[in-house]
Amino acid sequence: MTRLLAVSATLLLAAASEWGQTPFAGLVGGASERGLTPQRALRFHHLHYVVDDPGAQLRPASDALQGARTIVPGLGVGVRVDREYLLFARATSETPRRRRSRSAADVYADAVRWLTRQGFDVRPAQLQDTQVSRSLPREPVDHVAFAADDLARTIAALKVRAHTSSDVAATFKTASGGMVEVVQDTDRPDAYWCPMHPGLRSPAMGKCPLCGMPLVAIPPQRSGEYRVEAELLPRSDGGASRVRLAVRDPESDALVSGFVDLHERPFHLFVISRDLEQFAHVHPVQDASGVFELDHPLAPGIYLLIADFLPTGGTSQLVHRMVVTPGYRGPLFALPPALAVGASEQVVSGVRIRMMVESPAPRRPMPIRFEIADASSGAPVTDLEPFLGAPGHLLIVDNGLTTAIHGHPEGRVAAAATVTFAPVLPASGRYKLWVQFQRRGAVITAPFVIDLRSETQ
């Protein structure tokens, strides 16, 4: 997940989509025209893939098809294009990956032949006539699924024993050994989303398959931004010893006291000095009045405070405030620091972290991989632990402190020796980033600088 903040935090909220389509609408020569009963008509619903990391498949599939990322309750997570889906499930010991040599078109054709022999009218008859066929993953297809208006009556009409069944779907084996799934055709509007992956939505409650967080109700669209008031408690020798933060409602200006935990905390605060040399990722504690407080010494200077939180009934926020601590005598409008692009490797706490940036360009997902190894032996580190519910945390700011991004890997596997983020940076320029991991109970923080060139350079 990546969220973007430019000058002040602005969250672009997309309204939940309302489909409101009639099942089997748009079929060439509808079932009623051919005298078929509804349970004898089936439409393509999705291709199902079993993969090691569903999160890694979502972004390229969504970008290629220009589809919405979604959760289909009881079936999986994937990408929706109108009423068609590519769905991905994580490979486990119970659901291993099936290594198939047949193409997706052959798997689809086999399923259509089998259903046709059972007396069903299937549309479309070929995979190439589906919308998702415009760009298919390279992974082998596990099975193909078709939607029925009445699942129970359709299963009864098949007169074949189901291989597996549930309230929303049933799978069957074809004569050639392939798998066909029949699912209940229910088009419902999205009502829930993941607070860390707002683009991932579902019509029902559940958990995000990418990060494991509970889905929350999509709030109504609101005008204005949540406001964060910062108060510094001065020290006698200059600087500040405590920070107090109050969150105000964008419409009523009332103090907000209810928050949803994001990555195990209701409030994440990043403190960055104006020269980009000091960095802290801390978590203020809320008092009885609803204000967040943190004892954190700050020397005289200018600091950027980045607040990351989710108000109850609101949307995820990434708000920043520039503060000047008591005793500072320097210029208030100094030139941005000149960021020097340094080594692509850092050694921190006995761990060597190597950064690799793939296809650097603004305004599109830019994979940043971090390889983690033991600094002495060079052996890959495979005992990373989840840090605040994520494999890692990444904060990126530009040298003018007008852009800030707080991102996490799209996945829950934290022990691997390579962790990948995919932020979207808005423009060319130099950025400083801090990546954080946890190992053996200790948090490891490593700083890097990247020079992002425009696509025309």
Q: What is the pLDDT of residue 107?
A: 93
Q: 406-428 in b/e burial notation, b at 16+ Cβ within 10 A?
A: bbbbbbbebebeebbbbbebeeb
Secondary structure string (H, E, C) spanning 19-37: CCCCCCCCCCCCCCCCCCC
pLDDT in tens, 5-59: 333 333 222 323 322 333 333 333 334 334 444 448 899 999 999 988 887 888 8
Instruction: Please tell me whether residues 274 and 313 are part of one structural domain.
Output: yes
Position with higher pLDDT, 356 vs 390: 356
* Span 95-115, average pLDDT: 82
How big is the CA angle at 243 (ends 237 and 247), to the nearest 5 degrees?
Answer: 155
Instruction: Please tell me whether residues 116 and 26 are part of one structural domain.
Output: yes
Would you say residue 70 lies in a domain? yes
In this predicted structure, which of 42-46, 49-53, 203-207, 386-390 has the lowest mean pLDDT? Answer: 203-207
Whole domain around residue 353: which residue ranges? 345-452
Q: Which of 258, 271, 205 is nearest to 232 (CA)?
A: 271
Helices (H), 76-143: 104-117
Would you say residue 146 lies in a domain? yes
Q: How remote is the C-alpha of 260 from its chain's centroid?
A: 17
Q: What is the pLDDT of residue 270?
A: 97
Q: How confident is the model at residue 282 (pLDDT cuts 50, 70, 90)?
A: very high
Who contacts 114 (Cβ-Cβ below 8 Å, separation ≥6)? 172, 174, 175, 178, 180
Asked whether residue 414 carries a pLDDT value surpassing 50, the answer given is: yes
Is residue 146 within 8 A of residue 122, CB to CB? The reply is yes
Which helix (H) or strand (E) segment holds residue 68: the answer is strand 68-72
User: End-to-end distance of the chain based on CA atoms, in angstroms?
Assistant: 28
Would you say residue 189 lies in a domain? no
Would you say residue 79 lies in a domain? yes
| DSSP symbols for 360-416 | --TTS---EEEEEEETTT-PBP--EE-BTTBS-EEEEEETTS-EEEEE--SS---SS
Between CA 382 and CA 413 the distance in angstroms is: 11
User: How are strands ordered across the β-sheet holding 285-286?
Assistant: 227-234, 240-248, 292-298, 285-286
Would you say residue 319 lies in a domain? yes
Would you say residue 118 lies in a domain? yes
Instruction: Please tell me whether residues 44 and 152 are part of one structural domain.
Output: yes
pLDDT in tens, 112-125: 999 999 999 999 99
Q: What is the pLDDT of residue 144?
A: 96
Is residue 387 within 8 A of residue 393, CB to CB? The reply is yes
Would you say residue 193 lies in a domain? no
Would you say residue 107 lies in a domain? yes
Q: How far is CA 163 from CA 109, 122, 128, 160, 169, in A?
A: 20, 20, 27, 9, 11
Q: List strand residue ranges (DSSP E) for 104-258, in order.
A: 121-123, 143-148, 164-165, 169-173, 179-184, 192-193, 201-202, 216-217, 227-234, 240-248
What percent of the chain lies above the pLDDT cut of 90?
Answer: 44
Total domains, the chain: 3
In this predicted structure, which of 386-400, 409-423, 439-453 has the lowest mean pLDDT? Answer: 409-423
Q: How far is CA 131 from CA 21, 77, 85, 115, 124, in A?
A: 17, 18, 9, 21, 10
Instruction: Please tell me whether residues 110 and 28 are part of one structural domain.
Output: yes
Instruction: Please tell me whether residues 27 and 175 are part of one structural domain.
Output: yes
Amino acid code (one letter) for 99: R
Neighbours of 230 (CB within 10 A): 16
Average pLDDT, the chain: 83
Asked whether residue 293 carries a pLDDT value surpassing 60, the answer given is: yes
Instruction: Please tell me whether residues 107 and 247 are part of one structural domain.
Output: no
How big is the CA angle at 69 (ends 65 and 70), to the nearest 5 degrees?
Answer: 130
pLDDT in tens, 230-273: 999 999 889 999 999 999 998 888 999 999 888 889 999 999 99
Q: 310-338 in b/e burial notation, b at 16+ Cβ within 10 A?
A: bbeebbbbbbbeebebeebeeeeeeeebe
